[in-house]
Amino acid sequence: MPWLAGTALIHSLAVTEKRNTFKRWTVLLALLVFSLSLLGTFLVRSGILVSVHAFANDPERGVFILAFLSVVIGGGLGLYAARAHRLDSPGHFELMSRETLLLFNNVLLIIATFSVLLGTLYPLIIDVLGMPSMSVGPPYFNAIFVPLALPLLFLCAVGPIARWKKTRPRELLRRLQVPLMLAVILGIAIPLSLFGTATGMTLLAVALGIWCVSAPLVVLWRQFGRMRRGTSVGYSLRHIPRHMIGMAFAHMGLGVVALGIAFTTAYSQERQLVMKPEQTVHFAARDFQFHGVRSVKGPNYDAIRGEISVHREAEELVRLYPEKRTYRVQRSPMTEAAIYSTLWSDTYAALGEPVPGGGWGVRLYVKPTIQWLWGGALLMALGGILALSDKRYRYRRKRRIA
């Protein structure tokens, strides 16, 4: 929740900095981000939430965090109510402008934030009211986030290209011609050429991902063209503002994440089967050969380790060693999956239970473009670092010191 609200805050701050507007909304978002950070800490530290993401049950710490949260929210909103009228926002902008697009961006992100908040707290509220317990899982979040993510990806490409105050629709369409063509052509060609089939939602998601990656490149190219007039190529590249490069990297990272999610959601394959020693199974264009199991001892656990070789076109790609571990202190069994990661796909193997006849239960998974999720996140982080290193922030600090 703080990440979503914090993203809205970053974009709102851009409007406040450039156009001296959205001031009250920006302050309110800042209060919301910190309050949600404390709320998340309370949920996972107090023991009120039963989840694999929760820490050890500590009611005393939970009461302290709840009291601190109450002071922050109550004090922050009290100060906001008392002082917000002093924050004037004199800026004026048209309906078709960058300010409006960033406002829509904020609305979508805040809706997503409160959707997560509702899905997190609703089971707790139901439990307090004494109604039958329930859990909110992936179907709820998929139903909420997909309709919100698609327009967000669309705005992610349009916003940086639009002008402040007012943008002519014809001019905006002209600037977006290349990203639009790439999104339509590659959005259809890539899934069909790589996987042979695609649903309408997959084509739309891939097209929006490519749209989101290509539009920032247009922004950088236009900026390079402005700097190029009468100067060398090296000078032009060095003097592109870092905040603009950071914005481009962050938006491209989001597009890469969207592509990774689209491909892994549409084309992941899994299979659960029983395999005997030296048996070979063909799955997901790969041959998996099970070589049996053996007992191993770890530093604090005993394990049964399986061995599976993965082949493609008679060439061995890797050997996977999934384990079933039993930790000596807690005596709790755990399944340790073996993973083979490449840029294009991740292959997982998990060892199940023995079955009569000498076989073992085995689960196999092949998930494409999982690494793209991490790569996109790194691009976004790099974009943030580049934006923070922009010289205008250093100059402002020097002026304040002076």
Q: Could you read off the pLDDT of 128-148 as tens digits, one per residue?
A: 787 777 777 888 888 888 889
Q: For 313-317, what is the mean pLDDT?
A: 88
Q: Is 84 exposed, middle or buried (0-12, 13-18, 19+ CB in 10 A)?
A: middle
Q: Which helix (H) or strand (E) holds 401?
A: helix 391-401
Smallest Cα–Cα separation from 142: which of 261, 34, 28? 261
Provide the pLDDT confidence category of residue 16 given band limits of 50, 70 and 90. Answer: confident
On whether the CB atoms of residues 105 and 34 are closer than 8 A, the answer is: no
Q: Say which amino acid occupies 134.
A: M
Tokens of 130: 């004494």
Lowest mean pLDDT among 71-80, 248-257, 361-370: 71-80
Strands 269-275 and 279-283, by their bridges, are unpaired
Taking the alpha carbons of 119, 120, 121, 122 in that order, is the dihedral positive or negative? positive
Question: The whole model's pTM is what?
Answer: 0.84
For residue 52, pLDDT over 70 is answered with no
Contact between 367 and 268 (Cβ < 8 Å): yes
